[in-house]
Amino acid sequence: MRPLNARIRLDNLRHNYQTLKQIHGGKMLAVIKADAYGHGAVRCAHALSNLADGFAVATVDEAVELRESGITNPIVLLEGVFEATEYAIVDKYNLWPGVGSQWQLEALIAHHWQNPVKVWLKMDSGMHRAGFFPHNYTSAYTALKQCKHVDSIVKFSHFACADEPDNGMTEMQLEAFDLACEGLEGEESLANSAAILNVPEARRDWGRAGLALYGISPFGGVDERLKPVMRLTSRVFGERVLQPHSPIGYGATFYTSKSTRVGLIACGYADGYPRRASTNSPVAIEGKRSRIIGRVSMDMITVELDASQEGLGAEVELWGDVVNINEVAEAAGMIPYEIFCNVKRAKFTYSE
């Protein structure tokens, strides 16, 4: 069998959840949209079900998949519904819909609810992507408050630049949010991973942890408080020695400068490894750091072996404990979020 494995350490996931909840205080949503950032939403949800105050997903389908697998924790739909008819599913499965636009609000009020609903009312505090403008927020809030099926309202907003510690945008968004919420009772939620870790004023009733839940710092580099959940590994299945001045791979973009032992590993961009992370991107061979040489192909990657590293059969970590996915992201000009979401074709295994 092809030796590409994505090992998902659920104990690390639980550790990260508890760490983030403790840093933030209050309650914490585990954000498991997009199949838990490529980690497997159902497995991750079950690993967290006796800890998590709630889960957050992006679509009704994602929420229903969790419910049908037996998850009973609260589930927030971060973007709400995409058409009015979905409120029937929200009602049936007892989901907490985000409401971030006028049509969602009107359709929610018009829906014939069987059960009381908890609404997450989104404010556009400055990101200008979704949510009610601050000057329209009170009227949206009041309209919901007057709807007898609405059981409570959580006021929430999202930061554009929380992962940039010196960006004044976060402070401006905080101010806009607090000003517009004056006099409106109810719980609040502002912090994504970056704000949970780095913006104490953003810690309110509910945090919303995504990337950091998977053990990865939203600031680049490594955060020692977090433990990476995914470890993507493969094995050397080919080995050769190349003379100096030999090209390697597509485009002949890399030439050896000396006699070089090259290992061929089973992983490529068809598995979601970024093609742009070619020569010099880090890997760890049997725990020892080395690098990719030449271009990443669809199914294969060539790496530099040194004399002390084993050849055929050696384990190669693409990211996990020695190589942080933030290093790969930087080499590729990407963010770790998109790399996680791209992982496929690997064999996923889960450890408790």
Ligand X SMILES: *Cc1c(COP(=O)(O)O)cnc(C)c1O
The set of catalytic residues is 33, 250
Pairwise CA distance, residues 67 & 112, whole Å: 22
Q: Which of residues 46-75 bind ligand X (CB under 6 A)?
A: none
- The residue written with tokens 């053990």 in the block is 215
CB of 258 to ligand X, least distance (A): 43
Pairing of strands 315-319, 282-285: antiparallel
Nearest distance from C-beta of residue 193 to ligand X, angstroms: 3
123 is in an annotated binding site: no
Taking the C-alpha atoms of residue 31 and residue 54, their distance in angstroms, rounded to an integer, is: 9
Two tokens at 276?
């742009």
- Of the pair 24, 208, the CB lying nearest ligand X is at 208
Shortest distance, CB of residue 99 to ligand X, whole angstroms? 13
Contact 205, 26 (CB under 8 A): yes
Which of 158, 295 has the CB closer to ligand X? 158
* H/E element, 306: none
Considering only residues 16 to 45 of the shown chain, the ones binding ligand X according to CB under 6 A are 31, 33
Please pick, from the candidates 24, 43, 155, 158, the single residue that binds ligand X as defined by CB under 6 A: 158
- Of residues 199-228, which lie at the interface with ligand X (CB under 6 A)? 208-212, 218
| Residue 298 assigned to a binding site | yes
Q: Could you tell me the smallest distance in angstroms from the CB atom of residue 285 to ligand X?
A: 30
Beta partners for residue 96, in sequence order: 76
d(CA 156, CA 159): 10
Contact 123, 180 (CB under 8 A): yes
Q: Tell me which residues in 77-136 interact with ligand X (CB under 6 A).
A: 78
30 three-class SS: strand
Q: Is 197 in the site for ligand X (CB under 6 A)?
A: no
Q: Nearest-CB residue to ligand X?
A: 210
Residues that bind ligand X (CB under 6 A): 31, 33, 78, 158, 192-193, 208-212, 218
